[in-house]
């Protein structure tokens, strides 16, 4: 029985890695006879009988080939999180230690560097730059000079996302930052130099083995029986995930030469029909297409799926319908138009059966923007603007396809060295309108692994893995009796602002409050604060009475005693009493973004996050003493977090090297006892909320359609329950 199982296993490995029609014997014979002079050539079997050592070599070669020609190649690859693929066994060097220099309150830090024989990666951050160092508007451009490495021989290597290799004999270099990106001259120090030292990576440094699997995809025939242009070219088994690469050949579109096309998305589904979120790779590049008329693609999925995988490539084709229409008008820009100029036009046209109004024209540093209003659906067509007699350097537009308000822009002399002139004086403007039809095409390919992937071992300490989340989505679950109170959620119902709902955790008692943003329940559950078009409002949930606070802001958080609100205006942090009185700005370090995190139970200390270089730093501020203490850094796009009601824990999203998404963590306020609660393979929002008793979290997860699926997670016992009746994003939880 064991022998049979072993044979089956070896056979499966061989079939997986060697095509069925591969003839290995000529290659083996060539290896064994290559060292024999031509005058002494023997038959292949004579060679084996004459030299027993060759027999051993022969057996070894057969084993290597049958147990994976591709496997041997694949095992030569490794994966470094945050860097990408490397040759297994190739020398890897790293930065000996981070290097920082501080000047006038601004700090430049080279955090890490990875050097291989193929390429180099370097990460640096800048912190402490005051907001006043940056331009106030887009008409002014700050510093754009690039940093570089200066080698001992004077050679320079520009620091980019794809740096060339540094010679193996070079053990030191100088990181040179001529100026801090987008800062104005004279506002912050310039000409930074940081000495770097490179050393071999230590033995314990992680390089994840990568297995390359030969593609054995099954294309799904098109309806017209033409050849499927969607193919899989490479598959990599990288730890707990699978990276699938392929290409799409344009010939499969079979469209008119005047048509245009775009990729609307790539969908992945397993045998159960469930869509699997594609996790964009941040460090593995897609392959180079085999022909010019093809596009490469790459998807990455956790290996906890039910095979086969079906990959669907969605394409949108836009085709002109009928002749182009033109309308023209004149306007006087003056002899010296300035950035920020505006002309009110309000001129009406009729094109393609649509009503179109040119509302206004504005001028920028390098061109003009034309602002339109039209019938619904007009912006789905091709609409371009031309200024007669002038050749533009670029153009563009804004506004969703279904919006009745949109814009078109033309720019001139924005490219260095351009000979095109900026239009001034009396100008003739031509509006080009081309009606179009829009169609969809889809192409599919299936992939069935020859051998199933091993079920991932649950990660120690992680409460919600992708595999567990995947299973929860198919289940229900009764809520524990202690899970009570009110939760507030926001739901996108197609309006400019989201609908705000208050319900119980089970979702069976539901109240729609209003349209707005950033809702926050008072801890006692009696009042709701939210941001409305006219500013911050507070509603009494029993009587329906509302108070307009007379100020505006977002990321609203109630104090534990229900008396005050903390909020931000992006650049500043404020407190205000619940009746609108006592507006107070909190002194913080200068920052481009300041985000409230929460209050401590005494209602006299607050926690907030300030953007500091490439990360946010959590800060604790004592309102009575005016003292501020630095806590710890986190890396997410908004600096959001939440303090547990007892003040003992903070939940936050944080970056994990090599992952395209963030993980959800909890820790003590000083950053200690840090735990990964939700792994980054689970698609989550930034915001998670605590239960009133501090024993549960609601984590907002999302499917491939962007629909929210809140999950109740106990971060201490790791019990997880889907909140199947809750719509939208959960924003808060109160008694």
**pLDDT classification of 186: cutoffs 50, 70, 90:** very high
How many whole angstroms separate alpha carbon 346 and alpha carbon 361? Answer: 10
Mention every residue, 6+ apart, whose C-beta is less than 8 A from residue 283: 80, 81, 82, 83, 84, 658
Q: How many whole angstroms separate alpha carbon 54 and alpha carbon 56?
A: 5
Q: Are 549 and 562 in contact (CB under 8 A)?
A: no
Contacts of 577 (CB under 8 A, 6+ apart): 563, 564
Asked if residue 673 has pLDDT above 80, the reply is yes
Q: What is the DSSP letter of 285?
A: P
Q: Write out pLDDT tens, residues 354-382.
A: 999 999 999 887 789 999 999 999 999 99
Q: Is the per-residue pLDDT at 4 higher than 50?
A: no
Number of C-beta neighbours around residue 94 at 10 A: 17
When pLDDT is cut at 50, 70 and 90, the band that residue 340 belongs to is confident
Beta bridge partners of residue 410, listed in sequence order: 368, 395
CA distances from 190 to 106, 136, 182, 509, 605 (A): 10, 20, 12, 60, 37
How confident is the model over 654-669, as a mean pLDDT?
89
414 close to 367: Cβ distance less than 8 angstroms: yes
Compare 607 and 305 and report the one with higher pLDDT. Answer: 607
562-575 pLDDT per residue, tens: 999 999 999 899 99
The per-residue pLDDT for 420 is 61
SS3 146: coil
Q: What is the mean pLDDT of residues 447-451?
A: 87
Q: How far apart are CA 392 and CA 219, in angstroms?
A: 44
Residues near 60 by beta carbon (within 8 Å), at least 6 away in sequence = none
Other CB atoms within a 10 A radius of the CB of residue 637 amount to 12
| Averaged confidence pLDDT in the chain | 85
What percent of the chain clears pLDDT 70, i.e. is strictly above it? Answer: 85
In 474-572, alpha helices (H): none
Nearest C-alpha neighbor of 374 from the set 433, 323, 427, 325? 433
List Cα–Cα distances, 3 to 6, 7, 198, in angstroms: 5, 6, 51
Assign a CATH topology to domain 325-434: Immunoglobulin-like (2.60.40)
Share of the chain above pLDDT 90, in %: 60
Looking at residue 640, the DSSP 8-state letter turns out to be -
Q: Assign residue 58 a region (left: φ > 0; alpha: ψ between -120 and 50; beta: otherwise).
A: alpha
Query: Distance between CA 529 and CA 17 in Å, rounded?
Result: 61
pLDDT over 50 (residue 70): no
Most confident of 136-145, 206-215, 420-429, 511-520: 511-520
Give the residue-averaged pLDDT of 71-83: 70
Phi, psi of 659 (to 5 degrees): -105, 145
Neighbours of 155 (CB within 10 A): 13
Determine the pLDDT at residue 419: 56
Structure tokens at 81: 């999180």
CATH superfamily of 466-734: TolB, C-terminal domain (2.120.10.30)
Q: How far apart are CA 372 and CA 384, in angstroms?
A: 11
pLDDT at site 726: 92
The pLDDT tens digits of the residues spanning 12-68 come to 333 333 333 333 333 333 333 343 343 343 444 344 344 444 444 444 444 444 443
Q: 287 falls in which pLDDT band (50, 70, 90)?
A: confident
Confidence at 10, pLDDT banded by 50, 70, 90? very low
pLDDT at 728: 93
Q: Do the Cβ atoms of 503 and 726 come closer than 8 Å?
A: yes
C-beta of residue 198 within 8 angstroms of C-beta of residue 166: yes
296, 286 contact by CB (below 8 A): yes
Q: Contact 79/239 with Cβ under 8 angstroms?
A: yes
Least-confidence region, from 37-51, 103-117, 605-619: 37-51
pLDDT average, residue stretch 265-272: 92
Q: CA of 278: how far to CAs of 12, 67, 212, in Å?
A: 28, 31, 20
Enter the pTM of the model: 0.70
pLDDT at 729 over 60: yes
Please, which residues have CB within 8 angstroms of residue 707's CB and are 6 or more apart in sequence? none
Domain-wise residue ranges, the chain: 2-74, 89-200, 325-434, 466-734
Which letter, b or e, does each residue of 43-65 get, where b requires 16 or more Cβ atoms within 10 Å of its Cβ?
eeeebbeeeeebeeebeebeeeb
**113: alpha, beta or left, given left = phi > 0 and alpha = psi -120 to 50?**
beta
How far apart (Å, rounded) are the C-alpha atoms in residues 357 and 345?
9
On the question of pLDDT at 351 being above 50, the answer is yes
Whose structure tokens read 């010939």? 251
Report the pLDDT value the prediction gives residue 704, as an integer from 0 to 100.
77
Q: Are 514 and 497 in contact, with CB atoms under 8 Å apart?
A: no
pLDDT band at 442 (very low <50, low <70, confident <90, very high): very high
Query: What's the first-to-final CA gap in the chain, in angstroms?
Result: 62
Report DSSP state, residue 38. Answer: G
Residue of 687, 235, 720 lying closest to 469 (CA atoms): 720
Q: Tell me the mean pLDDT in the region 262-291.
A: 89
Q: Give the list of residues 6+ apart from residue 185 with CB closer than 8 angstroms, or none.
A: 143, 179
């Amino acid at each position: 029985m064991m022998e049979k199982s072993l044979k089956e296993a070896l056979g499966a490995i061989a079939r997986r890695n060697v095509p069925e029609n591969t003839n290995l014997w000529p290659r083996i014979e060539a290896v064994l006879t290559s060292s024999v002079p031509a005058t002494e050539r023997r038959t292949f079997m004579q060679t084996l009988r004459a030299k027993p050592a060759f027999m051993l070599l022969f057996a070894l070669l057969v084993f290597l080939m049958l147990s994976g020609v591709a496997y041997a190649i694949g095992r030569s690859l490794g994966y470094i999180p945050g860097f990408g693929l490397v040759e297994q066994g190739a020398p890897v060097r790293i930065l000996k230690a981070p290097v920082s220099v501080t000047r006038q309150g601004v700090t430049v830090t080279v955090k890490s560097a990875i050097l291989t024989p193929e390429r180099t990666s370097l990460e640096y951050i800048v912190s402490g730059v005051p907001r006043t160092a940056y331009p106030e508007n887009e008409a002014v451009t700050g510093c754009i000079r690039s940093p570089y490495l200066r080698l001992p021989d004077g050679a320079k290597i520009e620091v980019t996302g794809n740096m060339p290799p540094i010679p193996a004999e070079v053990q030191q270099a100088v990181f040179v930052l001529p100026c801090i990106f987008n800062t104005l001259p004279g506002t912050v120090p310039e000409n930074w130099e940081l000495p770097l030292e490179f050393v071999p990576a230590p033995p314990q440094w992680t390089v994840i083995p990568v297995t390359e699997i030969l593609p054995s995809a099954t294309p799904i025939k098109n309806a017209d029986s033409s050849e499927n242009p969607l193919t899989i070219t490479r598959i990599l088994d990288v730890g707990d995930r699978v990276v699938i690469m392929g290409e799409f050949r344009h010939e499969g579109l079979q469209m008119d030469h005047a048509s245009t096309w775009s990729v609307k998305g790539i969908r992945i589904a397993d045998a159960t029909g469930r869509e699997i979120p594609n996790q964009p790779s941040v460090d593995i590049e897609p392959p180079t297409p085999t022909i010019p008329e093809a596009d490469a693609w790459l998807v990455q999925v956790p290996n906890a799926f039910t095979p086969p995988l079906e990959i669907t490539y969605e394409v949108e084709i836009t085709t002109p319908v009928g002749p182009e229409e033109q309308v023209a008008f004149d306007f006087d820009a003056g002899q010296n138009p300035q950035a920020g100029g505006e002309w009110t036009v309000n001129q009406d046209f009729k094109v393609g059966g649509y009503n179109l109004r040119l509302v206004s024209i504005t001028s920028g540093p390098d061109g003009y923007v034309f602002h339109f209003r039209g019938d619904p659906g007009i912006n789905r067509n091709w609409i371009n603007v031309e200024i007669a007699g002038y050749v533009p350097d670029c153009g563009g537009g804004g506004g969703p396809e279904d919006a009745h308000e949109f814009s078109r822009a033309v720019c001139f002399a924005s490219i260095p060295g351009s000979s095109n002139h900026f239009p001034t004086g009396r100008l003739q403007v031509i509006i080009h309108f081309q009606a179009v039809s829009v169609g969809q095409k889809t192409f599919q390919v299936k992939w069935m692994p020859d051998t199933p992937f091993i079920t991932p071992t649950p990660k120690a300490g992680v409460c919600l893995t992708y595999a567990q989340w995947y299973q929860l989505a198919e289940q229900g679950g009764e809520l524990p009796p202690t899970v009570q109170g009110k939760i507030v959620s926001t739901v996108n119902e197609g309006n400019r602002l989201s609908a705000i709902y208050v319900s119980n955790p089970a979702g069976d008692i539901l109240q729609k409050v209003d349209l707005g943003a950033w809702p926050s329940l008072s801890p006692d559950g009696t009042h709701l604060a939210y941001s409305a078009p006219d500013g911050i409002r507070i509603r009494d949930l029993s009587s329906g009475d509302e108070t307009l606070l007379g100020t505006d802001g977002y990321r609203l958080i109630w104090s534990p005693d229900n008396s005050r609100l903390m909020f931000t205006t992006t650049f500043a942090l404020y407190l205000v009493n619940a009746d609108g009185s006592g507006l107070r700005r909190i002194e913080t370090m200068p920052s481009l973004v300041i985000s409230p995190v929460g209050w401590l139970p005494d209602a006299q200390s607050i926690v907030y996050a300030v953007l500091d270089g490439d990360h946010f730093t959590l800060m604790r501020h004592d309102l009575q003493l005016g003292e501020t203490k630095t806590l710890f850094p986190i890396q997410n796009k908004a600096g959001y977090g939440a303090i547990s009601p007892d003040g003992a824990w903070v939940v936050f999203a944080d970056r994990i090297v090599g992952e395209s998404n963030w993980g959800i963590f909890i820790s003590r306020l000083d950053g200690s006892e840090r735990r990964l609660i939700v792994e980054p393979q689970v698609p989550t929002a930034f915001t998670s909320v605590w239960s009133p008793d501090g024993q549960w979290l609601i984590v907002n997860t999302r499917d491939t359609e962007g629909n929210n699926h809140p999950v109740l997670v106990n971060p201490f016992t790791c019990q997880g329950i889907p909140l199947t009746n809750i719509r939208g994003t959960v924003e808060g939880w109160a008694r």
